[in-house]
Amino acid sequence: MELKVPESLRLEHARFRKQLCALTEDKTDFAVAVQAVMVLFDKHSIKEETKVFPVLEVLPLLAERKTNDSMKLLQGVADEMKAGLHEELLEEHRTIVESLRGISQSAMAQNRREYVDFAECFILHAQMEEEMLYPAALVTADYLQLLNQCRISSNGYFL
Ligand SMILES: [Fe+2]
Ligand SMILES: [Fe+2]
Per-residue pLDDT tens over the stretch 19-59: 999 999 887 888 899 999 999 999 999 999 999 999 999 99
Q: What is the pTM for the complete model shown?
A: 0.90
In order of 69, 106, 151, the CA distances from 81 in angstroms are 22, 35, 23
In order of 11, 54, 62, 90, 156, the CA distances from 8 in angstroms are 5, 12, 18, 21, 36
Q: Please indicate, yes or no, if residue 1 is contained in any of the structural domains.
A: no
The distance of Cα 133 from the centroid of its chain, to the nearest Å, equals 7
Q: Please indicate, yes or no, if residue 101 is contained in any of the structural domains.
A: yes
Residue 159 pLDDT grade (very low, low, confident, very high; cuts 50, 70, 90): low
Residue 145 pLDDT grade (very low, low, confident, very high; cuts 50, 70, 90): confident
Question: What pLDDT, on the 0 to 100 scale, is given for residue 102?
Answer: 96
Distance 65 CA to ligand 2 centre (A): 28
Q: Please indicate, yes or no, if residue 47 is contained in any of the structural domains.
A: yes
Question: What pLDDT, on the 0 to 100 scale, is given for residue 30?
Answer: 85
In order of 2, 33, 64, 130, the CA distances from 91 in angstroms are 29, 19, 34, 11
Q: Please indicate, yes or no, if residue 22 is contained in any of the structural domains.
A: yes
Distance 56 CA to ligand 2 centre (A): 14
Q: Are 33 and 40 in contact (CB under 8 A)?
A: no
What whole-number percentage of the chain has pLDDT above 90? 69
Distance 44 CA to ligand 2 centre (A): 6
Distance 126 CA to ligand 1 centre (A): 6
Distance 148 CA to ligand 1 centre (A): 28
Q: Please indicate, yes or no, if residue 11 is contained in any of the structural domains.
A: yes
Q: Please indicate, yes or no, if residue 51 is contained in any of the structural domains.
A: yes
Q: Please indicate, yes or no, if residue 139 is contained in any of the structural domains.
A: yes
- Give the span between the Cα atoms of 71 and 56, in whole angstroms: 11
Domain encompassing residue 68: 7-154
Say which amino acid occupies 149. Q
- In eight-state DSSP terms, residue 48 is I
Q: Please indicate, yes or no, if residue 42 is contained in any of the structural domains.
A: yes
Q: Convert the pLDDT of each residue in 99-117 to its tens digit.
A: 999 999 999 999 999 999 9
Domain count for the chain: 1
